[in-house]
Amino acid sequence: MIKRTIISALLLAACTSTAVAGPNCTCRFQGENFQIGEVACILGQLKQCEMKLNNTSWRTLSEGCPQAQLQRSPPVQSTDTTADLRTSALHGG
């Protein structure tokens, strides 16, 4: 009975210590620290820092990383009439 109580207490202590991440637990990538829960693009994959057992680990969220894209606006026509006059003068017009 005492042996069972001791084993239960040890298991409970082990489970509670691994479930709560300490304040200094971070994931590392290329010399940078990432807090638990932070997301980063690593080698073309979107990954999140998390705790696995008693260690930090990167969990893959998706293949590929989101990219910001700018939409190109249509080209703006020049309103510089002096350029038109210079071109006209060069061509004898």
For 20-58, the pLDDT digits (tens) are 556 689 999 999 999 999 999 999 999 999 999 999 999
CA distance 37 to 59: 10
Where do the structural domains in the chain lie, given as residue ranges? 2-65
CA distance 93 to 84: 10
pLDDT value of residue 14: 44
CA distance 89 to 14: 88
When the pLDDT of each residue in the chain is averaged and rounded to a whole number, the result is 74
- Read off the pLDDT of each residue in 2-9 and give the average, rounded to a whole number: 43
Predicted TM-score (pTM) of this structure:
0.50
